[in-house]
């Protein structure tokens, strides 16, 4: 058996979006197969470490499990929002003001968000080439649709996951604020008995719907 010697990514910044999408497809296809664990581990090494699929069986089981464990731990980290990234010669910045998002940007973001195979489109909306700097502030290019889609396939996963965590937290805080506001409005207009009935039958299901909708 070979003693395993390969480069195992230990940071999300070392993993490209395109590689993660490949791995996610492997997981999706094999999720119902109880005998697929070994194959998935082989594909994990192939995709993230550059090991040919058939060569993976030549390594020690302990080495393979250790490498796969490191990769899984890396993929499960939740980084902070990455403001700036570099892809090749491109220096890109996260969209500074979400309020200034155009309708075209919103449509592309809304239709692609939540689908890993389209995540490169999401990143092309959120990250744009920086055309001007002033200290830590910057101005990014206007949105140009599919112009940077190919480049975004090489987007580092810390930027991808960081932006998704950012939106999840933003949606979560917004849903909490809105449900608190609605409960306060209801409390001002209803008797104690009516409030009790509404909390049981109306507010709680609405909370769930609001959270689900905003987080999505």
- What pTM did the predictor assign? 0.75
pLDDT at 176: 65
Counting every residue, how long is the chain?
216
User: Is beta strand 137-140 parallel, antiparallel or unpaired with respect to 84-87?
Assistant: unpaired
pLDDT at 58 over 70: yes
What residues have CB less than 8 Å from 103, skipping those under 6 apart?
none
Distance of CA 13 to the CA centre of its chain: 13
Residue 210 pLDDT exceeds 60: no
So what's the pLDDT on residue 22? 94
Q: Higher confidence at residue 73 or residue 213?
A: 73
pLDDT band for position 111 (cuts 50, 70, 90): confident
Q: 39-48, 106-115, 173-182, 189-198: which range is least confident on average?
A: 189-198
H or E stretch covering 162: helix 157-189
Most confident of 4-18, 137-151, 176-190: 137-151
Backbone φ and ψ for 187, nearest 5 degrees, come out as -60, -30
What does the pLDDT read at residue 39? Answer: 87
- Taking the CA atoms of the chain, what radius of gyration do you get in angstroms? 22
Give the model's pLDDT for residue 19.
95
Does pLDDT of 189 surpass 70? no
Q: Residue 180: what pLDDT?
A: 63
What does the mean pLDDT of the chain come to?
80
Q: Say if residue 173 is exposed, middle or buried (CB neighbours under 10 Å; 0-12, 13-18, 19+).
A: exposed
pLDDT in tens, 123-152: 999 999 999 998 889 999 999 888 999 999
pLDDT score of 173 more than 70: no
């Amino acid at each position: 058996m070979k003693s395993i010697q390969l480069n195992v990514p230990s940071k999300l910044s070392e993993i490209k979006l395109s590689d993660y999408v490949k791995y996610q497809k492997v997981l999706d296809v094999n999720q119902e197969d109880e005998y697929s664990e070994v194959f998935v581990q082989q594909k994990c090494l192939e995709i993230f470490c550059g090991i040919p699929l058939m060569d993976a069986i030549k390594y020690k089981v302990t080495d393979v499990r250790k490498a796969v464990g490191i990769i899984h731990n890396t993929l499960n980290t939740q980084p902070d929002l990455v403001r700036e990234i570099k892809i090749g010669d491109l220096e890109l910045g996260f969209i500074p003001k979400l309020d200034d998002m155009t309708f075209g940007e919103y449509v592309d973001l809304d239709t692609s968000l939540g689908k890993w195979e389209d995540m490169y489109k999401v990143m092309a909306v959120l990250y744009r080439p920086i055309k001007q700097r002033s200290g830590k502030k910057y101005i990014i290019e206007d949105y140009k649709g599919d112009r940077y889609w190919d480049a975004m396939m090489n987007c580092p996963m810390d930027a991808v996951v960081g932006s998704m965590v950012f939106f999840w937290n933003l949606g979560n805080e917004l849903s909490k604020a809105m449900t608190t506001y609605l409960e306060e409005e209801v409390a001002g207009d209803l008797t104690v008995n009516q409030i009790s009935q509404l909390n049981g039958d109306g507010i709680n299901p609405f909370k769930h719907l609001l959270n689900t909708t905003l987080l999505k």
